[in-house]
Chains A and B, each alone.
Chain A
Amino acid sequence: DTGVSQNPRHKITKRGQNVTFRCDPISEHNRLYWYRQTLGQGPEFLTYFQNEAQLEKSRLLSDRFSAERPKGSFSTLEIQRTEQGDSAMYLCASSLNPDINGYTFGSGTRLTVV
């Protein structure tokens, strides 16, 4: 088990472009979470999947953001028409039983919108 894997690690894009990030969770974890972290802040919840079902979305997730987990395994987070304010670290986490083990986070994707 290699933990939670995120790709790419870094992404620089021009304002207005679309970007897509991928997260591969720990294989037996049925829960998958996306968080966003800006400089000097703690991670903030974006959205959550249990298996392939997207169960909750934060109000931080504008309609330019969409996340999928088509087969209940890997997940993608797409941002359309990127804005400079989207620059942040996007963290993916997975869990089997969060009350016992919390979440296991990936190394994140650092997005810079120029």
Chain B
Amino acid sequence: GQQLNQSPQSMFIQEGEDVSMNCTSSSIFNTWLWYKQDPGEGPVLLIALYKAGELTSNGRLTAQFGITRKDSFLNISASIPSDVGIYFCAGLPRDDKIIFGKGTRLHILP
């Protein structure tokens, strides 16, 4: 079945640093999504991308839909303590179900 390869698995950064994570797939997706999950909660949608090459921002977050439609990245600028959590990339094939990556665990050192 379709799989998403998300990297890195975890990151330890200093507050104020920028963060970058990415996701690749062997299959084409029509929509790429980035979710954040806090402990004990469900994933919350951060950014949705609909077109190959699209670059979208949401505050300090920027994400891009790769030109080949098989990859996406998420950048977080000037990280703050509340950015801690697990970030999931997710792909939505046409008329199908969302498939999730395994997540990137973000830790911020004081």
Q: Which residues of A pack against B, CB within 8 Å?
A: 4, 6, 33, 40-45, 48, 56, 91, 93, 98-108, 110
How far, in angstroms, from A102 to B72 measured CA to CA in the complex?
16
B25 to chain A minimum Cβ distance, whole angstroms, is 13
Given A102-B90, A110-B40, CB of A44 within 8 Å of CB of B98: no
How far, in angstroms, from A33 to B88 measured CA to CA in the complex?
17
How far, in angstroms, from A56 to B43 measured CA to CA in the complex?
22
CB contacts under 8 Å to A, within B85-110, are 88, 90, 92, 94, 97-103
A-B CB contacts (within 8 Å), total count: 63
Q: Which residues of B pack against A, CB within 8 Å?
A: 4, 6, 30-31, 33, 35, 40-45, 48, 50, 88, 90, 92, 94, 97-103
B45 to chain A minimum Cβ distance, whole angstroms, is 5
B1 to chain A minimum Cβ distance, whole angstroms, is 9
Which chain B residues border A91 with CB–CB below 8 Å? Answer: 42-43
How far, in angstroms, from A102 to B88 measured CA to CA in the complex?
13
Closest 5 pairs (CB-CB, A-B): A42-B100, A105-B42, A45-B97, A102-B33, A107-B42
